[in-house]
């Protein structure tokens, strides 16, 4: 492109006839610098030159350069066109030691003529010193221009053109996603042999997770031809970068120090043919060369990190970017309790493997789980970071049973497609059999209970025969017998109460009792009377009979004895529905008895009669009442 | 063992005792199971069976049998002791919500005797109540009447309790109100549905109280008061 532009410009200049312009080749440099200061030396040419050869800057260190830039402007003033064209070669120079140094002229070829700049003197003063040399004669303008004039090639100049050694930084993807891999390559180009390469400021990459891709210390060299010049080139640093957060990140320039074998040339041939030049300027053809310390800077880089798209972000997404595959395997699915199981989850592919965290797995609560053992086998090839990350879970089921581990999901963002992907593993089923344990000494350490009080103690011994057995499920309560018994109790109670009541009633009715007693008492009295009769004791006899009769009536009809008299006995007996004949007979007996008691006469004869009559009457009443 | 059918239950018990003493717990279990297979039971048989299972470290079986034994002999000290030991060796340690004092009294009262004893007692108390009523009714003297009245009241009260306890025991034996978890681990859900929320996990040997059941699910309550649903296959009821 550059060449095309130059060509175009030359063509234009030809057309507009402005080639008559005077060629001006100037150098611009500061007069005085401090030690350690980096400054700029610019060679400016107002024409299209080629085969620029810069000075060697002896006593200085070239930081970078020559950096070529071109500019052109066209102006129409009063109908006349002015063209300004400038080509500049800029060096960044570092003053490394004190003293006064000469910057030798630079040469350039314009249309076959070689032009040369003036030599410039630069005072390097120590940083602390007052700037006393400002009035040096050579001091004046910083722009010591010299009308370029063709010069002969310079002899015995230790000449290292600044583009003999340079570092170029590339970035494979200037605007990656967060977490997407982008590769930064630092390539060293050199035309001179180098040794002691030291990278000073090893490009640090803040806001990046980085992985060096070049493993060996030995640089892979190759030759390239740039602009017709042959360079030995090697990648001195190649790093995979994974952006950690969105934003624009500037990667500072890389600084490299090396010892360059600078060719001490007796004579430089300037043929205009780069190949020819380099061939003859080669160390092989030149007798000696000198070790020169050089500092080289790369170009800084800018990387614009894009945020991940928000839409379609899976729930369990955890920063994985790349392209991955997931595999999960269980070393066995049939175990005994307290035996260990290994669950291995492999995530392989290319991407930010290091950032990938262990997937969230919900293990059954019966399992003792430990933090996974993570092994990453990351291959860093020149094409980037890829590899396998393995998560090994150790699981110890504590109790027997059948358990399932739900499918394990792993989500990542695929920058190639710009979409999120989710991978899932199959579901695992684990059959846990009872662990081996002896009945006597089982360790219960696995269970949550901490007090192991009963280790060493034992349960109580079995019950020894004879053991009374009973039919299963036959319960007394609620059975027929139970209710039968209850009913029997109630009925028995009721019956006995009835009986008792009746007896009590009988007892409680004194008349009835008397009735019962009456006959007995009467009989007794009559018996007594009989003995009295036999003994011929009239008074006692009549008393007994009288008492027997009265007592009998009183008891029989429940009439208190005191209420009875000859007068009322009849009415009383009638009120008790006694037969009037019987009443008559009874009263007659009573009268006879009374009469016999108190009347004079043969009491002994009457006694027999009265006795029989009383007996007759009582038995008669007895019969009637029955 | 083949001619076991010909043996009398008492002979089986003797064989079982022998086997247990020699440490042949599996064979002891077989003998006891055969005793039960004759359709006869006893708290002692369940207790011995529980012991044999315990020795084989089958805590769920052991606890199940101890609980069965307790149903028949609720206050047997050996059973209570061994049940406590077995319960201390299962996975789940559940803090029991303490009963209120009257619940405790009630419980200690109705577990004082087996159900049948309470049944007999209820009959006895009924009889005594009736006697007391009789005395009250029949006595003439006021002291007797008073004694009769108060003892009738007392025995009426005792009859009521005897009947209630007998009923309670009877209910426990004829209705399977409790169960033992027989699966190594079972997740208790918030509702009778496989997709419902997991509440907690119960392990083998834990005693649960059963209430409702729906399809193949039962509603359970554990000793600390937590309630949930679990598949009924995980439980052996007693």
Which tens digits make up the pLDDT trace of A231-282?
A: 888 887 788 888 888 888 887 777 777 787 766 554 444 555 555 555 555 5
Contact A155, A54 (CB under 8 A): no
Query: What percent of chain A lies above the pLDDT cut of 70?
Result: 76
User: Tens digits of per-residue pLDDT, B122-176?
Assistant: 889 988 998 888 888 877 778 888 888 999 999 999 989 888 888 888 888 888 8
Q: How confident is the model at residue A33 (pLDDT cuts 50, 70, 90)?
A: confident
Specify the DSSP class assigned to residue A321: B
Chain B's closest residue to A505, CA to CA, is B138
Residue A94 has φ and ψ, to the nearest 5°, of -115, 125
Cα distance between residue A68 and residue A625, in whole Å: 166
Distance from CA of B47 to the nearest CA of A (A): 7
Q: Say which of A451, A478, A489 has its CB closest to residue B130.
A: A489
Q: B-chain residues within 8 Å CB-CB of A451? A: 88
Residues shown for chain A: 626
Residue B45 has φ and ψ, to the nearest 5°, of -65, -45
User: Tens digits of per-residue pLDDT, A488-528?
Assistant: 988 998 898 888 878 777 665 555 555 566 677 777 787 88
Q: Please state, as a whole number, how many other Cβ atoms lie within 10 Å of the Cβ of residue A14.
A: 10
8 Å CB contact of A465 and B17:
yes
Structure token digits, residue A93: 């120079």
Cα distance between residue B202 and residue B183, in whole Å: 9
The residues near A17 (Cβ < 8 Å, ≥ 6 apart) are: none
Residue B80 has φ and ψ, to the nearest 5°, of -60, -40
Cα distance between residue A172 and residue A181, in whole Å: 9
Q: Please state, as a whole number, how many other Cβ atoms lie within 10 Å of the Cβ of residue A531.
A: 12
Residue A501, classed as helix, strand or coil, is helix
**Residue A142: what pLDDT?**
38
User: Tens digits of per-residue pLDDT, A335-360?
Assistant: 888 888 888 888 888 888 777 888 87
8 Å CB contact of A477 and B166:
yes
* Whole-Å CA distances, B68 to A81, A303, B48, B64: 118, 78, 11, 6
Q: A-chain residues within 8 Å CB-CB of B204? A: 399
Q: Say which of A465, A476, A497 has its CB closest to residue B137.
A: A497
Contact A159, A56 (CB under 8 A): yes
8 Å CB contact of B134 and A500:
yes
8 Å CB contact of A448 and B93:
yes
Q: Which burial class, exposed, middle or buried, applies to A566 when counting CB atoms under 10 A from its CB (0-12, 13-18, 19+)?
A: exposed
Tell me, yes or no, if B14 comes closer than 8 A to chain A by beta carbon: yes
Tell me, yes or no, if B193 comes closer than 8 A to chain A by beta carbon: no
Least confident of A225-229, A371-375, B124-128: A225-229
> Which DSSP string do the residues of chain B spell out, in sequence order?
-GGGGGS-HHHHHHHHHHHHHTT-HHHHHHHHHHHHHTTEE-HHHHHHHHHHHHHTT-HHHHHHHHHHHHHHSTT-HHHHHHHHHHHTTSS---PPPPPPHHHHHHHHHHTTS-HHHHHHHHHHHHHHHHHHHHHHHH--SHHHHHHHHHHHHHHHHHHHHHHHHHHHHHHHHHS--EEEE-SSEEEEESSSSTTS-EEEEEETT-EEEEEEEETTEEEEE-TTS-EEEEEGGGEEE-
Question: Higher-confidence residue: A376 or B207?
Answer: B207
A contact test, residue of B7, B23, B126, B184 with most A CBs within 10 A: B184
Question: Would you list the domain boundaries of chain B?
Answer: 2-87, 101-174, 178-237
Residue B107: closest CA among B66, B74, B84, B77: B74
8 Å CB contact of B88 and A449:
yes
Specify the DSSP class assigned to residue A513: H
Domain B2-87 has CATH 1.10.10.10: no
Q: Which burial class, exposed, middle or buried, applies to A371 when counting CB atoms under 10 A from its CB (0-12, 13-18, 19+)?
A: exposed
**Residue B154: what pLDDT?**
92
What's the rounded mean pLDDT across residues A111-121?
82
Least confident of A9-18, A223-232, A263-272, A390-399: A9-18
Least confident of A316-320, A346-350, A593-597, A621-625: A621-625
Structure token digits, residue A73: 């402007």
Query: What percent of chain A lies above the pLDDT cut of 90?
Result: 0
Q: Please state, as a whole number, how many other Cβ atoms lie within 10 Å of the Cβ of residue A587.
A: 15
Residue A582, classed as helix, strand or coil, is helix
Strand extents, DSSP E, A96-149:
99-103, 107-110, 113-116, 120-125, 143-147
Tell me, yes or no, if B85 comes closer than 8 A to chain A by beta carbon: yes
What's the rounded mean pLDDT across residues A552-564?
75
Q: A-chain residues within 8 Å CB-CB of B55? A: 439, 459
Distance from CA of B77 to the nearest CA of A (A): 10
User: Tens digits of per-residue pLDDT, A185-216?
Assistant: 888 888 777 777 777 766 567 778 777 777 66
**Residue A440: what pLDDT?**
40
User: Tens digits of per-residue pLDDT, A565-616?
Assistant: 777 777 777 777 777 787 888 788 878 777 777 776 666 667 777 788 787 7
8 Å CB contact of A472 and B36:
yes
8 Å CB contact of B120 and A464:
no
Question: Higher-confidence residue: A445 or B194?
Answer: B194
Cα distance between residue A163 and residue A65, in whole Å: 6
As a whole number of Å, the CA-based R_g of chain A is 71
Distance from CA of B101 to the nearest CA of A (A): 27
Structure token digits, residue B39: 């359709």
Q: A-chain residues within 8 Å CB-CB of B173? A: 473, 475
Tell me, yes or no, if B201 comes closer than 8 A to chain A by beta carbon: yes
Residue A543, classed as helix, strand or coil, is helix
For residue A182, pLDDT over 50 is answered with yes
Q: A-chain residues within 8 Å CB-CB of B44? A: 462-463, 467
Q: What is the mean pLDDT of chain A?
A: 74
Q: How confident is the model at residue B65 (pLDDT cuts 50, 70, 90)?
A: very high
The Cα diameter of chain B in Å comes to 76
Angle at A247 between CA A244 and CA A250, to 5 degrees: 90
Cα distance between residue A186 and residue A128, in whole Å: 37
pTM: 0.40
Is B178-237 in the same CATH topology as B2-87?
no
Cα distance between residue B199 and residue B217, in whole Å: 15
8 Å CB contact of B183 and A497:
no
Strands A428-433 and A334-336: parallel
User: Tens digits of per-residue pLDDT, A36-80?
Assistant: 777 888 888 887 777 888 887 777 877 777 777 777 777 676 767
**Residue A204: what pLDDT?**
66
Q: What is the mean pLDDT of chain B?
A: 86
Q: Say which of A437, A454, A472 has its CB closest to residue B41.
A: A472
User: Tens digits of per-residue pLDDT, A16-30?
Assistant: 444 445 778 888 887
CATH of B178-237, one of 3.40.50.300, 2.115.10.20, 3.90.226.10, 2.30.30.40: 2.30.30.40
B contact test, residue of A398, A434, A477, A500 with most B CBs within 10 A: A477
Angle at A34 between CA A33 and CA A36, to 5 degrees: 115
What's the rounded mean pLDDT across residues B187-195?
88
Q: Say which of B41, B85, B184 has its CB closest to residue A399.
A: B184
The residues near B140 (Cβ < 8 Å, ≥ 6 apart) are: none
8 Å CB contact of B40 and A365:
no
User: Tens digits of per-residue pLDDT, B1-30?
Assistant: 444 446 788 888 888 898 998 888 999 999
Q: Say which of A457, A468, A486 has its CB closest to residue B42.
A: A468
**Residue A160: what pLDDT?**
44
**Residue B229: what pLDDT?**
92
Chain A's closest residue to B119, CA to CA, is A477
Cα distance between residue A318 and residue A340, in whole Å: 29
Residue with token string 């055969």: B34
Tell me, yes or no, if B135 comes closer than 8 A to chain A by beta carbon: no
**Residue A626: what pLDDT?**
56
Please give, one letter per residue, the 3-state secondary structure of B128-177: HHHHHHHHHHHCCCHHHHHHHHHHHHHHHHHHHHHHHHHHHHHHHHHCCC
8 Å CB contact of A462 and B17:
yes
Cα distance between residue A88 and residue A69, in whole Å: 5
Cα distance between residue A463 and residue B32, in whole Å: 12
**Residue A510: what pLDDT?**
56
8 Å CB contact of A459 and B86:
yes
Q: How far is CA B82 from the centre of its chain?
A: 14
Cα distance between residue B229 and residue B202, in whole Å: 11
Q: Say which of A364, A434, A454 has its CB closest to residue B89.
A: A454
| Element spanning A118, H or E | none
* β-strand partners of A168: A187
Distance from CA of A340 to the nearest CA of B (A): 18
Q: A-chain residues within 8 Å CB-CB of B167? A: 477-478
Chain A's closest residue to B59, CA to CA, is A439
Q: Please state, as a whole number, how many other Cβ atoms lie within 10 Å of the Cβ of residue B3.
A: 6
8 Å CB contact of A471 and B39:
yes
**3-class SS shares of chain A: helix, strand, coil, % to 5:** 25, 40, 35
Cα distance between residue A428 and residue A329, in whole Å: 9
Chain A's closest residue to B165, CA to CA, is A477
For residue A452, pLDDT over 60 is answered with no
Residue A304 has φ and ψ, to the nearest 5°, of -105, 110
**Residue A5: what pLDDT?**
52
Residue A88: closest CA among A28, A158, A176, A173: A28
8 Å CB contact of B78 and A463:
yes
Show the DSSP H helices in A110-149 as ranges.
Answer: none
Q: Say which of A458, A461, A465 has its CB closest to residue B13.
A: A465
The residues near A278 (Cβ < 8 Å, ≥ 6 apart) are: A191, A229, A230
8 Å CB contact of A467 and B42:
yes
Structure token digits, residue B94: 């559940």
Query: What percent of chain B lies above the pLDDT cut of 90?
Result: 17
Number of A/B CB contacts below 8 angstroms equals 139
For residue A460, pLDDT over 60 is answered with yes
Chain B's closest residue to A365, CA to CA, is B201
Cα distance between residue B155 and residue B92, in whole Å: 44
Terminal CA-to-CA distance of chain B, rounded, Å?
28
Question: Higher-confidence residue: B32 or A48?
Answer: B32
Cα distance between residue B62 and residue B56, in whole Å: 9
Structure token digits, residue A304: 């614009």
8 Å CB contact of A463 and B47:
yes
Question: Higher-confidence residue: A157 or B196?
Answer: B196
For residue A130, pLDDT over 60 is answered with no
Tell me, yes or no, if B55 comes closer than 8 A to chain A by beta carbon: yes
Q: How confident is the model at residue A450 (pLDDT cuts 50, 70, 90)?
A: very low
What's the rounded mean pLDDT across residues A144-166?
46
**Sign, Cα dihedral of B104, B106, B112, B115:** negative
8 Å CB contact of A469 and B41:
yes
Specify the DSSP class assigned to residue A55: -
Q: How confident is the model at residue B47 (pLDDT cuts 50, 70, 90)?
A: very high
Q: How confident is the model at residue A150 (pLDDT cuts 50, 70, 90)?
A: very low
Q: How far is CA A406 from the centre of its chain?
A: 15
8 Å CB contact of B184 and A490:
no
């Amino acid at each position: 492109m550059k060449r095309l532009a130059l060509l175009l410009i030359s063509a234009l200049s030809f057309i507009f006839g402005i080639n008559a312009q005077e060629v001006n080749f100037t150098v611009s440099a500061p007069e005085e610098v401090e030690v350690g200061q980096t400054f700029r030396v610019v060679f400016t040419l107002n024409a299209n030159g080629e085969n620029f050869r810069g000075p060697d800057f002896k006593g200085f260190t070239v930081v970078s350069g020559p950096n070529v830039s071109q500019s052109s402007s066209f102006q129409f003033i009063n109908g006349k066109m002015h063209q300004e064209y400038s080509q500049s070669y800029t060096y960044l120079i570092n003053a490394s030691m004190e003293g006064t140094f000469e910057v030798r002229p630079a040469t350039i070829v314009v249309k076959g003529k070689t032009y040369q700049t003036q030599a410039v003197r630069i005072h390097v003063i120590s940083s602390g010193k007052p700037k006393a040399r400002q009035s040096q004669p050579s001091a004046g303008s910083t722009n010591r221009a010299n009308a370029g004039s063709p010069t002969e090639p310079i002899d015995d100049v230790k000449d290292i053109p600044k583009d003999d050694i340079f570092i170029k930084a590339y970035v494979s993807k200037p605007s990656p996603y967060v977490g997407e891999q982008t590769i930064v390559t630092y390539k060293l180009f050199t035309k001179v042999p180098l040794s002691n390469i030291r990278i000073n400021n090893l490009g640090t990459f803040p806001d990046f997770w980085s992985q060096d891709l070049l493993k060996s210390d030995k640089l892979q060299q190759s030759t390239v031809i740039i602009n017709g010049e042959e360079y030995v080139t090697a990648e001195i640093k190649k790093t995979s970068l994974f952006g950690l957060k969105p934003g624009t990140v500037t990667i500072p320039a890389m600084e490299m120090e090396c010892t360059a074998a600078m060719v001490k040339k007796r004579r430089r041939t300037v043929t205009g043919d780069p190949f020819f030049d380099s061939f003859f300027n080669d160390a092989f053809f030149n007798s000696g060369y000198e070790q020169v310390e050089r500092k080289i800077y790369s170009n800084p880089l800018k990387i614009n990190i894009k945020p991940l798209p928000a839409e379609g972000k899976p729930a369990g997404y955890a920063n994985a970017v790349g392209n991955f595959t997931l595999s999960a395997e269980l070393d066995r699915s049939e175990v005994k309790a307290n035996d260990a199981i290994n669950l291995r989850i492999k995530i392989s592919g290319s991407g930010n493997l290091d950032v990938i965290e262990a997937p969230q797995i919900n293990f059954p609560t019966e399992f003792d789980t430990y933090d996974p053992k993570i092994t990453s086998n990351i291959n860093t090839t020149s094409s980037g970071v890829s590899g396998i990350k393995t998560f090994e879970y150790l699981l110890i089921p504590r109790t027997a049973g059948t358990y399932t581990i739900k499918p394990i999901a792993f989500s990542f963002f695929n920058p190639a497609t710009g979409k999120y992907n989710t991978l899932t593993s199959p579901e695992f089923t684990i059959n846990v059999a009872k662990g081996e344990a002896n009945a006597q000494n089982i360790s219960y350490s696995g269970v949550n209970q901490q007090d192991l009080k009963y280790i060493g103690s034992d349960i109580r011994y079995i019950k020894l025969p004879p053991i009374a057995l009973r039919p299963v499920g036959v319960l007394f309560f609620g059975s027929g017998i139970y209710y039968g018994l209850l009913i029997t109790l109630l009925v028995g109670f009721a019956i006995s109460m009835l009986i008792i009541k009746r007896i009590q009633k009988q007892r409680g009715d004194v008349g009835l009792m008397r009735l019962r007693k009456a006959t007995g008492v009467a009989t007794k009295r009559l018996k007594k009377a009989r003995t009295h009769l036999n003994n011929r004791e009239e008074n006692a006899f009549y008393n007994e009979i009288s008492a027997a009769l009265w007592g009998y009536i009183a008891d029989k009809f429940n009439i208190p004895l005191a209420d009875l008299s000859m007068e009322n006995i009849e009415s009383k007996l009638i009120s008790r529905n006694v037969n009037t004949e019987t009443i008559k007979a009874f009263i007659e007996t009573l009268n006879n008895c009374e009469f016999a008691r108190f009347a004079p006469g043969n009491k002994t004869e009457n006694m027999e009669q009265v006795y029989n009559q009383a007996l007759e009457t009582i038995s008669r009443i007895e019969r009637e009442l029955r | 063992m083949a001619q076991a059918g010909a043996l009398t239950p008492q002979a089986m018990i003797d064989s079982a005792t022998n086997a247990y003493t020699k440490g042949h717990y599996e064979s002891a279990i077989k003998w006891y199971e055969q005793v039960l297979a004759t359709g006869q039971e006893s708290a002692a048989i369940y207790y011995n069976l529980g012991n044999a299972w315990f020795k084989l470290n089958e805590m769920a079986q052991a606890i199940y049998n101890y609980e069965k034994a307790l149903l028949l002999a609720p206050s047997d000290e050996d059973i209570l002791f061994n049940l406590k030991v077995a319960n201390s060796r299962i996975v789940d340690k559940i803090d029991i919500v303490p009963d209120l004092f009257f619940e405790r009294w009630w419980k200690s009262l109705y577990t004082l005797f087996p159900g049948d004893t309470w049944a007999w007692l209820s009959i006895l108390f009924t009889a005594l109540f009736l006697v007391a009523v009789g005395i009250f009714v029949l006595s003439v003297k006021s002291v007797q009447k008073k004694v009769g009245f108060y003892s009738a009241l007392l025995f009426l009260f005792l009859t009521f309790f005897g009947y209630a306890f007998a009923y309670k025991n009877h209910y426990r034996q004829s209705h399977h109100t409790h169960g033992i978890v027989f699966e190594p681990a079972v997740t208790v859900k918030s509702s009778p549905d496989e997709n419902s929320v997991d509440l907690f996990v119960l392990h083998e040997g834990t005693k649960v109280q059963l209430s409702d059941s729906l399809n193949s699910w039962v509603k359970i309550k554990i000793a600390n008061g937590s309630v949930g649903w679990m598949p009924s296959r995980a439980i052996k009821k007693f």
